[in-house]
Structure 1
Amino acid sequence: MRLAFVLAGLPLALGLGASAVQAQQAPQLANPAGIFSCVDANGRTITSDRPIPDCLDREQRELNSSGTTRRRVEPNYTAKEQAERDERARQAQIAASRQIEERRRERALLMRYPNDTVHERDRKEAIGQIDAVIQSARKRQGELADERKKLDAELEFYRNDVNKAPPSLRRQVEESNQSLAVQTRFIGEQEDEKKRVNARFDEERVRLKQLWAPEVTKK
């Protein structure tokens, strides 16, 4: 009798065990898969339980059951499109780096020249140094010109035929010509440098006027 009772209760026990297992698995089965959503080329909003073929060329969003974005699915790009994206990203990075460097130079410039008085003082000092070099070069140019006058006076004796002048005198004349040419070229180069320095200070002053402005400085 007892054995029969046990055997009779066995199906009930197995049924209860299976129900317990199903109850444990129920939360897992109730967790829904993500929903994919996108706007296709025609402006239609499409949703699906898997990646949407019509939107492979554009971004798709995978949504949670609450409707919030779980992740973003990037488009499938061709090799050419990916190369173009990479190049745009590279150019954007270069532009950002240039902007950072420009800001760094502006801060350094503002620290060096906190106001117009300091900037103009440095301009005058820089131009003054060049003017001193030019003055010295012109003095030397005058000395060479005086020496050349003496040589020309000696050449007067051979004005009818300069080839009859002594080799030493002709050599001195040639050296004088070269020295005068070098000095003249050097003075011209210094004058050009003076223009470049003034242009640099002018350019700096334009930028500094913006940096000196109260609304910019406060930033």
Structure 2
Amino acid sequence: MLSTSFWEHRLRGLPLTGLMAAWLVVPAADAWAQKSTLNGGIYTCVDDSGRRLTSDRPIRACLDREQKVLGSNGAVIRVVPPSYTGAERDAIKAEKRALREERARLEEEKRQNRALLSRYPNKALHDKARSDALVQIDEVIGAVVKRGTDLEGEHKEIKTELEFYQGDATKAPPWLQRKLEDNLQQQKIQQQFMMDQVAEKSRINVRFDEELARLRKLWIQYGYKNAESTVAQPEKNGAGTASAN
């Protein structure tokens, strides 16, 4: 900032009218220089009413919008972003977090689509995978049925032994009572296990049904024109090469 002595030196020898005009300019120039250097410049913005405001510090009426900071030559030297309340900042953070999560979800969906197309380029392979999964469950169910049949046979033998005690388990010796209790407990466990396997079989079918519906859309989207055929393969001219972008 230029000192007053500098201006006094420059003004010596000026005519009266020039002297008066110069002394009017000096305070204005000095004030602008002081304001433009205070806090790094002059803040300016347009408020809700459309008024342009200026200040040597951040303008309270414009805290919810950006404010420009002007240098001594009137050029914009920086832009101050809006200042938000705690609740507003939390809302902005939540919105950004939701956007990140949505982008991550979409990327994961693309990854899954690529994996699904790579694994099942046609319905024949998908049908085979379903069949293999169901065969495993059916084998488990078969074992459960066999175990249940064996337990029913054991229960009949125990009932036969109980006939000696008029069918009253309380009159039977402790070892026979324990054998009966164990048999009934094992039958209950096998029944629950059977229910679980039936439910699992249903879940497998639902999963493969949903996958097939999804695959059919992907096959169309990426040019797997013969995917419904039992011998379908991706097109060799580029169609059917899944990028799932």
User: Does the TM-score normalized on the shorter chain lie above 0.5?
Assistant: yes
- How many pairs are equivalent? 183
Are 1:135 and 2:142 an aligned pair? yes
Q: Does the C-alpha gap of structure 1 residues 56 and 151 become closer, same or farther in structure 2, counting only changes over 3 Å?
A: closer
Q: CA deviation at 1:62?
A: 8.1
Decide which of 86, 91, 94 is 1:87's aligned counterpart. Answer: 94
Deviations 1:179-201 (A, max 9, x none): 21121111111111111212221
1:202 partner letter: D
Structure scoring higher RCO (CA < 8 A, sep ≥ 6) equals: 2
Tell me, yes or no, if the aligned pair for 2:45 and 2:54 is still in contact at 8 Å: no
Are 1:146 and 2:133 an aligned pair? no
Q: Does the C-alpha gap of structure 1 residues 208 and 61 become closer, same or farther in structure 2, counting only changes over 3 Å?
A: farther
1:211 partner letter: L
Deviations 1:138-179 (A, max 9, x none): 011111111211221221222264333233322221221112
What is the match of residue 186 of structure 1?
193
Tell me, yes or no, if the aligned pair for 1:37 and 1:46 is still in contact at 8 Å: yes
TM-score normalised over the length of structure 2: 0.61
Q: CA deviation at 1:72?
A: 5.4
**Gaps (5+ residues) in structure 2?**
1-35, 37-42, 71-75, 224-241
Q: Does the C-alpha gap of structure 1 residues 52 and 111 become closer, same or farther in structure 2, counting only changes over 3 Å?
A: same
1:178 partner letter: Q
What is the match of residue 174 of structure 2?
167
What is the match of residue 232 of structure 2?
none
The percentage of aligned residue pairs carrying the same residue is 40
What is the match of residue 212 of structure 1?
219
What is the match of residue 157 of structure 1?
164
Partners in 1 of 2:64 and 2:146 — Cα distance? 76
Q: CA deviation at 1:127?
A: 0.8
Partners in 1 of 2:81 and 2:205 — Cα distance? 53
Larger CA deviation: 49-58 vs 173-182: 49-58
Partners in 1 of 2:164 and 2:108 — Cα distance? 68
What is the match of residue 118 of structure 1?
125
What is the match of residue 108 of structure 1?
115
1:157 partner letter: F
Q: CA deviation at 1:202?
A: 1.8
Deviations 1:58-99 (A, max 9, x none): 245789xxxxx9975422323332232222212211221222
Deviations 1:99-134 (A, max 9, x none): 212211221122111122211110111011000010
Partners in 2 of 1:187 and 1:109 — Cα distance? 31
Q: Does the C-alpha gap of structure 1 residues 168 and 128 become closer, same or farther in structure 2, counting only changes over 3 Å?
A: same
TM-score normalised over the length of structure 1: 0.67
Are 1:203 and 2:207 an aligned pair? no
Partners in 2 of 1:207 and 1:74 — Cα distance? 45
Larger helix percent: 1
Tell me, yes or no, if the aligned pair for 1:37 and 1:45 is still in contact at 8 Å: no
1:172 partner letter: K
Question: Is the radius of gyration larger for structure 1 or structure 2?
Answer: 1
**Gaps (5+ residues) in structure 1?**
1-32, 64-68
